[in-house]
Amino acid sequence: LLGREGRGREAAELVERARQEFRGFPTGCHLGLRLVAEAALADGWGEPVAWLRTAEEHFHQVGVRSVAGACRSLIRQAGVPVAQRRTGRELIPEGLRSVGVTPREFDVFALLVERLGNQDVARRLSISPRTVEKHIASLLHKTGSANRAELCRLARELCGD
């Protein structure tokens, strides 16, 4: 609220104080940074990109990819380039790995088990619907699936419970 009122320096000081107070609770601290950085970006105060990079690193290390992805998305919205992290190749079933399915394509593929639309997949993965379309097109080609329904069936076979 201080940042929104034009008192950005005071708001940034409170963020730093909170970081010190909550350093014993790293996940909560980093989630707080991710949330406050969004407000700081919108209102133009503090060091939101630095906070987001710190939070992204934490969530990547603890394996919370959705929050790490949200941090990367906000960094990009700030106009700052950010490298994608491509881990998880070992999670891709061998048949898909052998045809060149990437970790991000596999993230999309795994959500097809739920028969989600592109908008919902995009929201879950913090990517654009157009990017989802590109991944679906690539998955159709790589798996030799004739259509999305066939791709969803394959996803259920390989990733379903």
Positions of CATH 1.10.10.10 in the chain: 89-159
For 89-159, which CATH class? mainly alpha
Q: Looking at residue 99, what is its pLDDT?
A: 87
pLDDT (mean) for 8-34:
95
**pLDDT above 90: residue 135:** yes
DSSP string spanning 69-93? HHHHHHHHHTT---PPP---GGGS-
Average pLDDT over the chain reads 92
d(CA 39, CA 98): 43
Asked if 125 contacts 108 with a C-beta cutoff of 8 angstroms, the reply is: yes
Q: Looking at residue 130, what is its pLDDT?
A: 96
pLDDT (mean) for 1-18:
95
Q: Looking at residue 118, what is its pLDDT?
A: 96
**pLDDT above 90: residue 89:** no
Q: Looking at residue 98, what is its pLDDT?
A: 81
For 26-79, the pLDDT digits (tens) are 999 999 999 999 999 999 999 999 999 999 989 988 989 889 999 999 999 999
**pLDDT above 80: residue 84:** no
DSSP 112: G
**pLDDT above 80: residue 85:** no
Amino acid sitting at position 73? S
Give burial (CB, 10 Å; 0-12/13-18/19+) of 129.
middle
